[in-house]
Every structure is written in C-alpha cells, then in structure tokens.
Chain A
C-alpha cells in the first residue's frame, strides 16, 4: 500500500514538473537575457545608482555579491539584536550575539539553519523584515551567480559577465515575488494560516491550557520553499499543521521546492543555445534524485529494529497525515535542494535511512540543488567530468566549446575542495579541542553513542552545504555551534561563489571552439552517466570513512 502510494506521489510529481519546467525555464531565460527594464526596476536602479546597461567584470560582479550579502548579514544581525524595541516583537527580547550572528549568516547564505525555536524567539518584524526579505534576496543571489556562469558559456571573448544588480533585481521582482504570491494564495487555500494574531490562549476539550501561535505564515512559507530556504515560521517547520496542513499541500510544497532548481537546466539550455545540453544536466539531476528517493523510501519502509516492526513501519518522527512515502519524498526533496525544510524528524529516521539525507547534502546540493547553487554546482562537476572524459577521447577537454585548461580546472577543483574541508574539519574540531568536546558531549549531544556523532556530522554537512535541516536531537544554540556553523555556512556559500564567478570570467573571455566529430558530446546519455558517476564517486570517496564511523557503524550494528 505504502509502496503504491509512494509511486503514485512520485508519478504525480514527475508529471507536474515535466509540465512546469519548460515554461518556467524559458521564462527565466527571458528574464535574464531581456534588454528591457520594468518601470519599477528603472526607479530602483536610479535609487541605488546602477547603470543597468553596463555589464560587470567577474571581479566587479563578485564585489556586488559580497557587498550585498555583507550588508544583509549586518542588517539581519542588528534587527535581531534590537528586537526588544521593534514593533510586533510579540514581547520577545533581543536575540543574543551568537545566535544573532548564526541566524543572520544562516538566512543570508540561503541556509536557514535555525539554532532556535522561531515561534518562541522571533517576533513578526524580524521574521518579515529580516528573515523573509533574505529568503527572497538570498535566493535571487544564488540564481544570479548561476546565470552569470551560464552566460559565460554563451559569451565569446567578453570581459564582462552581466550586471549583478540587474540580475538580482529581476530575479526578485519578476521571478520570486510573483510565484510566491501565487504560492501563498494556494497555501492559504490549503489551510496554511496568514494573520497577525500573536498567540491565542485557549482551553482544550480535555481541560488543558494551550497557547496557539498565529502569524503571517503562508507568505513566508511560499518563499521558504520556492527559494529553497527552508527556515520555518514554526519550530516544527513543515511538520507543523499551520505550515503544511494536508497531504496535497505537502505535495504542493515539494513542487515549490523543485520548481526553480529543475527548471534552471532548461534556462541553461536556452541561454547557451542548445536545449539538449540543458536536458543532459536535468537528466543527471533527476537520476540522482530518483535513486536517492528510492533508497530512502525503501530503507524507511523496511525499517530496522523491533519497534518499527511492531508499529507497522518506521513512523517515529513522521506525521501520520503524510505517511512514510510523503515524509521520505519531502526529506529527499528538502535535502537534495538545499532547502532544509522538514516535515518529519530526520533524526528519527532509521540509522541507514538517516544517512540518506546526509548523503544527499554531501553530494554538494546538485540534484537539483538550491536555486542557482544547484545549477552552478552541477556545472562545476560537469567541468570535472568533461576534463576526465575529454582526455579519454584524446582532445584538450572542452565544454560547450570552452576549453577546460589549467585555470578552469584549478577553479573547479578548488570549488570541490571547499565543502568537504568545512564538513570534515568542523566535525573533527568538535571532538579534537578538549574544551569544545566536553561542551559538545555534555550540552549538545542528547543521544550519546554513534548517533551523537551522526548529529554533529549532519549539522556541519547541513551548514557547509547551505541546507539548513538538522538532526534535531542536537542542541546547536551553544557558542561553539553558533560560531562554527556560522563560519561553515559563510565559507560554504561564498568561497564557492568566488570560484564560480572567477570561472565565469575565464570562460567568458574565451572564444568558442567549434564542435566536430572529435568533440566529446555532452548531451548524450553516456555523458549523463559519467556525470552521475563523477558526482557520486567524488562524494563517496570523500565521506566514506566518516560515514563508516557514524551512520554506517550505527546501521550495521
């Protein structure tokens, strides 16, 4: 029964996305290549003093990304610190330094890691003016960077790669905002709340006292998913009935998460002028997605241990209205898209099942990945795959007519180096520094033993890959985790962006080599297979030892 439910859900999802990705992908291509500005955009450009017609070098584009994000971090930090004096604070006090830093970084980096319970920490002003705004713009930044890279493949002998401020503005105004409005309306129709009620105290039928929170949830819910942000309005995130009330709302939320990431390959194909190239990337992402989903669903359905067997399924930490299939689909989507929203507790998954969301993130968030970040991550892997494959066919490797030389390989390799280093050193430092280890084992880990290790590993994997989901058994609101995870999120987001934009600059400056019979075709199933292989091998080789010490050791006991 569960199996058929799972299959039916996936089939529905595939049909919806197949119908959606073409118009949405083409629309995005139009947005980012159009020469026309909207009136409101022109006004905005005048306001910030940007000439929309002048393109930027990659360095200048990068400065834009970094400056804009730095301002974002600072603003979100300050608004949290000052919460006590802001209106609509619901009476919550200002937020401590460590948590403010962590949260500010978390939302600006599109991670949305939450070391806190939002419903009892953040008032409406912080949620809306700080976090919700970042939900939009951090997503727009990610897409902008991806578009800059895509454009670089299409450009020839160009010193510039586009204008960051234009990409950012258009992405926010023309893409994220309108879809979010529609999404929010649909969610409200599905039962997600949207009000400014604060808390409603009532007495339950059983006579107990309950305090029910309200809030502008739907408006934030839509962009939380659409922008692959994941930061919930409530602590329970999408497991909370006010955020994700029904099974069909659950599916709609999944569609929101996947819509842009699965449409961007189409945009890529459209901009480089070869739709098949886009399909190859899409096929790679979709293959990994389906394999991962199948693995997690099987692991959870089969369960492990006596308790799940007695209960008729591994239902601990899962909502009965979603069931196992609805939970695994959501979990796979959320961790493969860098969203990090949850509708079930990943911490409660079976040991090997819990490894799957972790593995999903370790893949580098590329299948299909976060908005923008997924595409550029996959394109980086494609560059590596093309390099190896290019050598194998006896040509200096080239991708879309661009030679993959020492500079390109250097940038792509450095990109690949960043997140594993952050994840592994972060996890290792948590146990290597005696004082930190005492704190981690004493305060943070509530499940001693192997699972505790998995929780810490999950936290750093999630932060460095800008996912934001957690094995929630870990208490992360400690000075160590707030700082270390904050740093991991920051470096995990922006160092790769530096390499991506540098690569874009180097590709744009190149001329295009015409394709011949000797050119490796990058739009065939063989290349898709190779790209899947490269993605998985790189991950497997990097994380196998640490997985063996955590979830594998736990699951194979």
Chain B
C-alpha cells in the first residue's frame, strides 16, 4: 500500500508513454485499404454466424445472387407489387447487399487493424533469448546464486518457478519477481517510457516483465509465468482482439437486436401471403431488400468494432484491460477508491511555514532549517530550502560538515557542522528525546511546542521540529516547520465532475483521521478512510458492494492484491508486484493512479456509443418504411402514393435508394464507432436528452435526406 513517505509513481513518470503517439484521426484511407482483405475473409459464414443480424444480410445477399443469376432463364425480372422493375434491379440489389456485409466486416477489420500495429511492435520484444537458469537455487545459503551451477537454456523452455540470473545488457527472459538484487531496467518496449526504472527484490517493485532489458547490475529472478502466457503474450492477444469475449451489455444488446430481426423476418415472411389476398404479392428481391432495411444493420455491423475500439482506446492510454467486462464495469462504477498519495496530493509534503519558538528569531530558524536540509535529497528537504530562500536565506553552496541521513533507527536527519554545532530535524517526540539526552526541555517549551505540533496536525500538515546543539553541547529546540500535503491543482474540479457523473469518491490514506479529514475537505472527496490497513480497504470494498455499489480502485503492492481482486475494477500499477497485477483486471503501464478517472470515461463512452448507434439504427427504419412500403404496393393501391412523402422517383429507385443508404451509412459511421461518441460529464437526464436528440431525432431525419439524395442520382440511370 502506498504510504505517506513514499514518492508516488506518477511523479516519477509524469508523461504518458511517448512510444505510441495518440492517433488523431479515427480512420485513414490507408487503414481501409489494409483492412479490406480481412473484410472479405470475414464473409465466411462460419464467422458471420456470430453476428446474427449481418448473417441474415449475408443469407439475403446469397439468395438474391441466385435469383439474379436465374432470372434470365426464368423470363426476366418479376413484376413486383403490380409495378414493373428494370432489368438491372435484382443485380443492383444483390451488389449492394454484398457491399452491406463487406462494409460491416470492414468496420471490424479496421478496428482490429489498429490493434495489430501495436501487437506487432510488442511481438518484437518476444524474441527468444538465452537464459541463465540456476540449477539448484537455495535462497537461504546462497541468495545471490553466486555458487550455484548455471545452465544455459532457451527462454522458451523456462518453467514456472525457475530461477534465472540476469546481468546488465541482457533481456529478462520471462515475467518474474526479483528475489535478490537491484537493477535499473529499460521497460520502454512495454510502456513506451524511455527513462529506466529501478527494480529491486522485496517490496512492491520486485516485478519484472519478460522482454525488458536490464541496464545495470545483476539480479536473480524467479519466473512467475509459463512461456506463451506472459504479460506480453496477454497484451498481444488483447490488443489484437483475439481473446475478446462479449461483454454482458453487448450480449444483451445482441439479444435485443436478434429479437428485432426475428420480428422483421416474421413481418417480411407474412407479407406475401397477406398481399396475395389483394393480388399484390411482391418479388423476393424486394422482400429481401425490405428485410435488410428493417433489421438493425447499422448497429449490427458496427457492434464488434465499437467493442474492439473501446479496448483500443484504453491501450492508447497505456492501460491494459484483461477483459472487456472490466471496461464495461468501469462505466458503471459508483464508488471510486483513491489513494491519497500521488493521486489526490502530489505525494510529497512541502514546507509552507516556519514557526520559531519564543526567544528564537524567524531568521535564525530559517537559517538553521535550511542548513539542515541543504544536503537532504528528499522532496521535503528540498522544499524547506526553497521556502527558506524565499524568506531571504542565501545558499552558501558547499557546506562543510557530516551529513546525517534519515534512518529508521534515529528517525531524524540533519548535519554535524564543522564548527561543532549539530542540527537535527524530525518528529516532535524524537527531537525532544534528542535534546533531553544532554539537557532538559522546560515545561514552557514543551507546552509551546505541543501547541504548534497539534495546530499543524489538526490542519492536516506534518510538523517537523528543528533542534540544534551549540558548540558548547547544550541542545535547544528552535521551532517547527509546517510540512503540508499539497492537493493537486484541479483535482477538486475532477471530483465535482465525478459527482455529477454519479460517482462517489473515497480517499484512502494512512494518515490519522484529523489530517485525512482536512485533506479530504480540501480535495473535495465525498468520504475518506483514515489509518487504512489493507484489511480496512478490503472491508470497505465489501461494504460498498453489499450496498450494491460497483467499486474501482488502484493498487500496486502485494498487500493490495485482495482488495484489487475484490474490487469490480482493479487497476494495478505496472510498477507494482506480480501479485497485484495478477489480482487486478487492468494494468496501467504508466502507473498513474489518476487514470482511473479516464478509464471510467472510456467505459461510459463505450456504452453510449452502442446505445447511440442502436437508437440511430432503429430510428432510421421510419424513413425506410416511407420509402419502401409505398414503393411495394402503389402498383396495386395507387392511393398509397400519399405515403411517398419523399416523392421518390419510382418504386424501383425508391427501394434501391433505401438499400444503398442502408449500406453507405455503415461506412459513414465507422469513424464514430471507432472514435466513440463524445462524452461530457453531466447528469444522466441531460446526457439522455442530448443523445436522444442527436441520435434519435437525427436518426429519424437523416435517412429522409439521404434516401432522397440517392434517389435523385438513381433516377438518372435509365430504366429506374
């Protein structure tokens, strides 16, 4: 679990991976050209079968093809509904039906193609290397494996639990945990981040990924994955969409679309018997055209592309979702658990104020505090110098003296100056004890000090007490430095946005309740969990889930693993342990905890895109009916011409126009399917009315215009 003192992952890696620039345009002609062969390969009925709506179109296309071929032998195109049709009509319908299917496959191919490029670059890291396997590893007597016999094997032959040695310059042969040593590792192949990261045994940064390169030192790694099941393998499968499984909402939508299709099949099949009563039976190609226009082909064609593109958007943000289900769940999240450090605050406290005790001047405290911190490499130390300089302290540059670094035993740091005076800074109780080693802290000083310490703690800050021993040996407390946990800029607005989306944020922190409360109020989170242990965290998630909430969280440590597994959306940091990565259902390669908010947006966007295109698809049917129904029957019932409100040229051109519109709209909407519908954080009602207006009303109006325009062109073709 992230604690207060640990510097956050985000501050180490502030930028997104620059290995993969974000794709600006949703689609390019080149992408289409590349995807085209795949689109034709997908015509295989065994593949089409998985998409019932488009399968139906393919069956219709096959049927009209047979009819078009047979027609000349059966005496020309049949009359339909009492109206004649041109000779090229059946062929025209056939061609456009096939195009409808191809366009649908094209959408899926394009979506997959975008993932393929990423998969290819990942594949290059998967080259087989030679690994130095330790034959008999004994962690007790020889943890560094310096004496154990080494066997050279291919990385492909490594098994779970094998121990290997990797030295500087070598590729790590497989996923694993460092059991001994520390090394800097270049992980750019996976994260796109060129700066090397430090990996060491024990703790939360022991995980290494196969295919990354060790830049310095020597490490002993225990392999934690089988060949072919490594992290990179999974990544490749994910971005290629090979292991894509339908998500619950996608399944539900498919069922609804299939049922609508069945209704329209029934409608189409019953037309001729009923029309037969009035001698108004229509020809089979016209019936097929009607069916294809009515079934929700637009959404049916784009559904899988939307899903693949959604995963792809995550990958572009350097997040790997282990399942589409997790992405969808992200859109449903109602409770967000955020670690304070690194997510809500900058992760390192900054000095904001010097408070001298009575009898000490501010200048004196400032000078001493700065001297004690000049050689302190921690962000806190640096911030003290910055504040001191702002208060008029002049940096002397080199300082003669012995640096006393912070250690867990002494719990303080400082400097022993050459002149004989020693400066220390640390927690109040520690420094009081230090002073009392050689003297006495008066009750007055003690009371005053406690007052300052409590005031600062109450305000959510960390009091750092400064003390100095003079050359004579007497030790005195000079004052208190106010270290403040600084809340990230703009974070409160983001939480307000989340609240508007209906998401409750809970801050998790190891701080005491007092400090936690102050920061929670400043950051604008809805709730907080102070002095949180991993068990508390798990209990909180369970409690939220009991109440029906869906919980998302980030985590990196091994002790986060149970909570990550319990959460509905668990985002593991790539810097984290294998256990954490295994437990979560997403991995953030940038290890940026704030990205959880982006993930939620992407999840929502995915659902909205599906909903929008479904609404659009169904709304389109209104116009198609007004094109086709009068065209089908005006030959017998001239009165129905009243329904031809678009004033389409002829029955044949009306039906052709509808079917062409139906095919073209798929291509037109591919970019939208890939890019996703724009999502703005707002209340559900507002989003609904906006999307209903655009995709519902727009879906009713657009085809009226589109079909009319196509009809104007078709009417120029002789015969129509």
Contacts and interface: CB of A to CB of B under 8 A. Distances in A.
Interface of A: 384, 387-397, 401, 404-406, 408-410, 413-414, 416-417, 420-421, 424-425, 427-429, 431-432, 437, 441, 450, 452-453, 457, 511-514, 516-521, 524, 526, 530, 533, 537, 540-542, 544-546, 548-549, 552-553, 555-557
A556 B640 contact: yes
Interface string B317-341: 0000000000010011010000000
B255 A516 contact: no
B611 A557 contact: no
Interface in B450-508: 499-504
B245 interface: no
Given A391-B607, A394-B604, A518-B684, A541 B274 contact: no
Given A516-B334, A517-B683, A409 B256 contact: yes
Complex A-B, nearest 6 residue pairs according to Cβ-Cβ distance, in ascending order: A518-B502, A391-B611, A394-B604, A516-B502, A413-B259, A556-B639
Contact of A514 (B499, B548, B622): B548
Contact of A396 (B258, B331, B549): B331
Given A406-B255, A420-B266, A520-B688, A392 B615 contact: yes
21 contacts: A387-B253, A389-B692, A393-B611, A394-B331, A394-B603, A421-B263, A425-B270, A428-B270, A432-B276, A453-B274, A517-B499, A526-B692, A545-B267, A545-B632, A546-B274, A548-B633, A548-B640, A549-B274, A549-B280, A552-B643, A553-B640
Contact of A424 (B267, B499, B504, B688): B267
Given A391-B253, A395-B332, A421-B263, 15 more contacts: A387-B256, A392-B611, A393-B684, A394-B679, A395-B502, A396-B248, A401-B548, A404-B252, A413-B255, A431-B273, A453-B278, A516-B503, A526-B685, A546-B267, A549-B278
Interface residues of B, number: 77
Interface centre among A441, A453, A516, A557 (most CB of B within 10 A): A516
Contact of A405 (B252, B334, B683, B692): B252
A521 B685 CA distance: 7
Interface in B290-349: 290, 294, 328, 331-332, 334
A549 B275 contact: yes
Contacts of B251: 406
A3 B273 CA distance: 41
B618 interface: yes
A389 B334 CA distance: 18
Contacts of A396: 248-249, 328, 331-332, 607
B708 interface: no
Nearest to A544: B625
Contacts of B633: 548-549, 553
A429 B278 contact: no
B637 A416 contact: no
B204 interface: no
A390 B178 CA distance: 46
Interface centre among A405, A424, A427 (most CB of B within 10 A): A424
Contacts of A530: 688, 692
Nearest to A517: B502
A250 B330 CA distance: 57
Given A392-B615, A521-B685, A417 B274 contact: no
B33 interface: no
Nearest to B499: A517
B608 interface: yes
B21 interface: no
B441 to A, nearest CB: 53
A511 B550 CA distance: 12
A417 B502 CA distance: 35
A394 B273 contact: no
A427 B269 CA distance: 12
A537 B620 CA distance: 11
A409 B608 CA distance: 18
B278 A450 contact: yes
Interface in B627-641: 629-630, 632-633, 636-637, 639-640
Contact of B549 (A395, A417, A514, A544): A514
B614 interface: yes
Nearest to A520: B684
B713 to A, nearest CB: 26
Interface centre among B260, B605, B687, B688 (most CB of A within 10 A): B688
Given A394-B607, A428-B270, A406 B248 contact: yes
Nearest to B614: A388
Interface in B534-581: 547-550
Contacts of B278: 450, 453, 549, 553
Contacts of B642: 556
Contacts of B611: 388-394
B130 interface: no
A236 B637 CA distance: 34
B641 to A, nearest CB: 8
Contact of A392 (B502, B683, B687): B687
A188 B402 CA distance: 112
B256 A517 contact: no
Contacts of A553: 278, 633, 636-637, 639-640
Contacts of A395: 331-332, 502, 604, 607, 684
